[in-house]
Amino acid sequence: MAKTLPAARPQCAHFSSGPCAKRPGWNLQALDDAPLGRSHRAKIGKAKLKEAIDLTREVLRVPADYRIGIVPASDTGAVEMVLWSMLGARGVDMLAWESFGEGWVTDVVKQLKLTDARVIKAPYGELPDLGGVDTRTRDVVFTWNGTTSGVRVPNADWIAADREGVVICDATSAAFAQDLDWAKLDVVTFSWQKVLGGEAAHGMLILSPRAVGRLETYTPAWPLPKIFRMTKGGKLIEGIFEGETINTPSMLCVEDYIDALVWARDLGGLPALRAKADANARVLFDWVEKTPWVANLARDPATRSNTSVCLSIVDPDVVAKGPEAVAAVAKGIVSALDKEGVAYDIGAYRDAPPGLRIWCGATVEAADLEALTAWLDWAFAAEKAKLAAAA
């Protein structure tokens, strides 16, 4: 390793893209009010779940006529519920430009086996041609923020206001950091462990009146497991969206989510969360601009994520040695910074191109990102020197 270590260390080394860093100042005492050992169906349990739903509506500015429910199995569970319950009524356009979007394509094409599913893809670092998506007559499934590529949609202008189908949006790395255009979205899903740094295993499902209408008028051709069922007798099970969860939630995790929501509200709500994530990402973007060995995986600045910032190693000497060398250097940087205790879990997602992925959501501090950049330079220099010595 290089002899001279950077002078400043991040106060918090948690830069994972999920589960993400806890809010600043968090400690276990924040959970003292959790009704542990009590039923989630008891008055106190239902009140806590309703509080989580109400705070979600307040902070995210969800329209009053949209339903908000707490569901099992994180964001994945929320997305699967709607894919299996709502698709098949008409053709669907599936968008994919990173790993999780690809996962939804697999479910729809290979598991549900929908014959009228049109797949519109783009490689890592790019968006598909949004102008080619039929948002007026077909259903649409897409991720707002591609967590594993660092590419997000810049807005929802490409979605038709007079649409006949439903638009299903996986927003797990966008909610609480980016502006979601509710008028253009019929289903929105996310998980607690992303932008607010909550605990895992619980997902959020938000439905527009149009989505509720689909659920109440359409019955899919395949059987639905109990955990996916949102209607009974042709009517929405309203209890799901009032704190009566489908299965038993962790009241400890619920309390932690409430704590994060209160922190977000007191910080200034969505505008403040978005501004903080923007400022955090700007630290990395500015560093990348002046650093020749690294580049943003997202090529178009308008589509760059302000939460999951994905970086590629582009140093010509390393690139000239081939993809294996690039991957080795990236792995070496991740390992060195983990060993030093200055950055945990910053490797690129396993299906993504080799590189780095650094979380910049509002629970991360800009000063820690500033300190991290010097360590990234230090670790890269050391790994490049090792590569040269081995030649």
388, HSE (Cβ side, Cα atoms, 13 Å): 9
Is a pLDDT exceeding 60 seen at residue 311?
yes
Q: What is the pLDDT of residues 96-143, one digit of tens each?
A: 999 999 999 999 999 999 999 999 999 999 999 999 999 999 999 999
Distance CA 16, CA 64 (A): 33
DSSP secondary structure string for all residues of 158-217 = TS-TT-SS-EEEE-TTTTTTS---GGG-SEEEEETTSTT---SSEEEEEE-HHHHHHHHH
Average pLDDT over residues 41-63: 97
Share of residues in the chain with pLDDT > 90 (%):
98
| Sign of the torsion formed by the C-alpha atoms of 45, 50, 56 and 58 | negative
Q: Which of 132, 133, 100 is nearest to 349 (CA)?
A: 100
Query: How does strand 139-143 pair with strand 67-72?
Result: unpaired
Average pLDDT over residues 204-227: 97
Query: CB within 8 A of 301, min separation 6: which ones?
Result: none
Q: What is the pLDDT of residues 162-192, one digit of tens each?
A: 999 999 999 999 999 999 999 999 999 999 9
User: Residue 1: what pLDDT?
Assistant: 46
Distance CA 154, CA 377 (A): 30
Share of residues in the chain with pLDDT > 70 (%):
99
User: How far separated are the first and last CA of the chain, in Å rounded?
Assistant: 17
Q: Which of 311, 240, 197 is nearest to 85 (CA)?
A: 240
> For residue 137, what are its two tokens?
């007559």
Sorted by where each starts, the structural domains of the chain and their CATH numbers stand as: 33-265 (3.40.640.10), 270-390 (3.90.1150.10)
Q: Which of 154, 157, 152 is nearest to 170 (CA)?
A: 152
Is a pLDDT exceeding 70 seen at residue 3?
no
Mean pLDDT for the chain?
97
Q: Which of 81, 99, 72, 77 is nearest to 17 (CA)?
A: 99
Is a pLDDT exceeding 70 seen at residue 2?
no
Peptide bond into 301 cis (omega under 30): no
User: Residue 78: what pLDDT?
Assistant: 98
CB 342 within 8 A of CB 375: yes
Is a pLDDT exceeding 90 seen at residue 291?
yes
Is a pLDDT exceeding 70 seen at residue 294?
yes
> For residue 121, what are its two tokens?
């893809």
Average pLDDT over residues 208-215: 98
Distance CA 182, CA 62 (A): 7
Q: Rounded to 5 degrees, what angle do the CA atoms 15, 337, 16 make? A: 15
Give residue 247's pLDDT band: very low, low, confident or very high (50, 70, 90): confident
Name the least confident of 99-103, 152-156, 243-247. 243-247
User: Residue 149: what pLDDT?
Assistant: 98
pTM of the model: 0.97
CB 330 within 8 A of CB 348: yes
> For residue 217, what are its two tokens?
């008028």
Distance CA 391, CA 389 (A): 6
